[in-house]
Amino acid sequence: MSDPRAYQSPGDLLAGRAVVVTGATRGLGHAVALACANHGATVVLSGRDSRGLEQIYDEITDSGLPEPAILTLDLDTAGWREFEHAANVIEKQLGRLDGIVHCASHLEKLSSLESQRVEEWQNMLRVNLIAPFTLDQACARLLSNAPDASIVFTSETHASAPTAYWGGYAVSKAALETLAMIQADEWSDHPNRRANIIVPGPIASPLRSRTHPGELHDALPRPEDVTPLYLYLLGPDSRGISGQLFRFQD
């Protein structure tokens, strides 16, 4: 495809598929979850805010879309037992898993390396790196049984262009990109599984509001503007594409 950022997806693109979206209550995760549901997927809404998950659940069901599942999971505190339980719940309720979109992200604050605490690094690494790795590992059997499984990792511009004050956040996202590439390479002999990365760039999101509070967010792309790229990588038209990094903004 010439430009997947402008992908025009059919309405039934993800019909019959089950897709986990982490960070589904806000920002990009919310937009991706709604887009997946609008294109026929049964979405597993994952986040730590039960009330927020119930709200997007209602948004989806009130629109007459496939009934989603709710997976309340705190990525900052969850261990292997919680991730394994999550995979078992998905299997029991849905019987399949065709995709995972990692949208959940955690940034403590912008600050110099000298002022960042080890606990802050641990929190960012747990949410941004260790949780995606562990969720994918827990769901590996379900993904291997899918005819066309896709994992989409969400990275950040400072992962490849690190600058001052982004510290542990940039490091965790750089490591996430490495994780995605390793996974894609290990799956190179398995045509039914693929892993790719999206770098949305500056968008009007809650995280951007924290890092750039004086910015005019109306001038930024909306989270909804990025969803065609996610849909492309989740759907059958991108089958065979793996180990690629897609930048929404050049």
CB 83 within 8 A of CB 138: yes
- By annotation, the residues acting in catalysis are 169
Say if strands 193-199 and 245-247 run parallel, antiparallel, or are unpaired.
Answer: parallel
Left (φ > 0), alpha (ψ -120 to 50) or beta: where does 87 sit?
alpha
Calpha distance 27→205 (Å, rounded) = 5
- 37: tokens are 């549901």
Calpha distance 132→161 (Å, rounded) = 22
